[in-house]
Chains A and B, each alone.
Chain A
Amino acid sequence: MKIAVCVKQVPDTWAEKKLRSDDSTLDREAADGVMNELDEYAVEEALQIGEAHGAEITIVTMGPDRAGETIRKALSMGADAGIHLVDDGLHGSDALATSYALATILEGRGFDLIIFGSESTDARMSVVPAMVAERMGLAQLTFAQKVEFEGTQVTIDRVTDSGYDTVTASLPAVLSVVEKINEPRYPSFKGIMAAKKKPVETLSVADAGLDMARVGASASWSAVVDFAARPPKAAGTVVTDEGNGGVKIADFLVGQKFI
């Protein structure tokens, strides 16, 4: 089986995220870059599928130069090869542009399965997997907490608000995973050292055959018009119990639409 895993480099989850004052895009230099957490689960799932059924696993990312570290991390976990789409012209791409770019480089490479995280921690659109599936005309199996294969059929438990649905499709297909699906491994030292020698293909917008007019900030359908820093934390509401504390807390929660 040929598997592609799409991974995104995001600012360190614990770091304070900032937007750039010049073009209102995320300031990716302001914090260390790490692999989007859910994408670690996507990589792990690919590795486990490979261990059970045999697979050649390619890591795909679109992002600046240093996103190469994220590819290397996935390679050190055990993936086989990487594709890095890197080009200044991609800066500011929205979900439509990102999914167009990813679908274009994934197309025609014979992948049986394309695995995504179900959401990034920086932009949290949770739409790229579905958009890529739609653009490529592939079945989409999203929000999977469990994956099983039978021949060329793949069946998932798809998480819903009330439980899960069982969804089946035939390969090739797009899969996105939630964190319940597995426990990502740590890269081993041998894996880290071997990662250096694994092939990573670097593509520019031109190399990938992308239409320059459909990627980057100017081509994006959405743009951030304005933003402001989060106001300092206001003092909390103190409920003093005068025999009716429980009622007051319930009223507060109703007022905040929690109950």
Chain B
Amino acid sequence: MQPQSPFALFSIDHLLSEEERAIRDVVRSFIDAQVRPYVADWFEAGSIPARELAKGFGELGLLGMHLHGYGCAGTSAVAYGLAALELEAGDSGIRSLVSVQGSLAMYAIHAFGSEEQKEEWLPRMSAGDAIGCFGLTEADHGSNPAGMITNAKADGSDWVLNGSKMWITNGNVADVAVVWAQTDDGIRGFVVPTATPGFVANEIHKKMSLRASVTSELVFTDVRLPKSAMLPGVRGLRGPLSCLNEARFGIAFGTLGAARDCLETAISYALDREQFGRPIAGFQLTQRKFADMALELGKGMLLALHLGRLKDEGIITAEQVSLGKLNNARESLTIARECRNILGGNGITLEYPIIRHMNNLESVYTYEGTNEMHTLVIGQALTGLAAFK
């Protein structure tokens, strides 16, 4: 019998339109050609050709692909999810670059920006000529961003920004930062060109995860911005949280890409690798692992596609996005760990993608809302009681 891929076993293609498949296939072949051959080296070196990648992604239409106008492609949410999946099958760090650009930085400007801000930034960002980052988390305020101390004070016709942000993806390669800060009027968003005096980005080194991604600390010392730098369209935490919802939706799909790559690698390895005179794929214990992992992968994909259809209808809720982020980040990490085991000693090297995906997924498990925070969101939805406020 011919082996089938896990998604083929679930007839996932049957649930996709021709256009969705076409978009998925383009991203897959782009990643296979432009990322897969190099990414282990980038990961080992802890650096990526971010500008070059952004340019290539921009030409495809990946950056802000689900937004409309200003040079953005305007695809469906499902197509965006499928693209995130294929990107993350390459590497979670590469997917992070695209998520932060499109779903955090561009989305914030698209949803809450002035016409002037949109015209200035979105066309360049969608083309990959300008890179964006998104500063919400602070060293002392992660799961509870409401406690942030970064602040912007009105001074004549200007704003003056002070404080710092931590764990900011794309920080050192960004041309523009969307920064959330306390003001007299509550939490507000600011569009900050990174060349503004007083803006400093310090790259975070010694990471063991998302090494093919730039992560930075941002420090603001009397950063003087014009009145027009504030995002006029939103006040309070609702702003950043609605951006995070966009990115989390992509992550519900994305993590499955990393898991799929692990599982496919492990199956092909186990078919080749012989111990006790036969392929380890022929042992019942191995097959049970494959069956369990394929089930979780397929169930995760059905959930992600369901969420995608709800999002395309415009009726998805934040709690539903939590279901997807929580389940798919968790199950993908479990799959990566089990696949690592199946490769034995070879599983710990960068010759195979698995330990890279596994380490990456530790970050994905934490960012965009930790496992615990999404659990509490779901708990609140089920009981009506907030355990975290």
Contact = CB atoms under 8 A, between A and B. Distances in A.
A73 B59 contact: no
A188 B74 contact: no
Contacts of B29: 186
Interface string A52-84: 000000000000000001001100100000000
Given A72-B18, A186-B60, A188-B60, A193 B26 contact: no
Report the interface size class on chain B.
10 to 19
Contacts of A72: 18, 22
Contact of A187 (B18, B22, B74, B75): B22
Contact of B79 (A186, A187, A189): A189
A72 B19 CA distance: 10
A187 B61 CA distance: 9
Nearest to B29: A186
Interface in B1-52: 18-19, 22-23, 26, 29-30
Interface string A190-218: 10110110000000000000000000000
A192 B61 CA distance: 10
A192 B30 contact: no
Contacts of B136: none
A246 B62 CA distance: 53
A189 B18 contact: no
B85 interface: no
Interface in B59-81: 59-62, 65, 73-75, 79
Contacts of A193: 19, 73-75
Interface in A159-195: 186-190, 192-193, 195
A196 B17 CA distance: 12
A196 B60 CA distance: 17
Nearest to A73: B22
A111 B23 CA distance: 31
A88 to B, nearest CB: 22
B259 to A, nearest CB: 22
A186 B73 CA distance: 15
Contacts of B18: 69, 72
22 contacts: A69-B18, A73-B22, A186-B26, A186-B59, A186-B60, A187-B22, A188-B59, A188-B60, A188-B61, A188-B73, A189-B23, A189-B26, A189-B60, A189-B61, A189-B73, A192-B22, A192-B23, A192-B26, A193-B19, A193-B73, A193-B74, A195-B22
* 5 smallest beta-carbon distances between A and B, as pairs: A189-B61, A189-B73, A188-B61, A192-B22, A190-B73
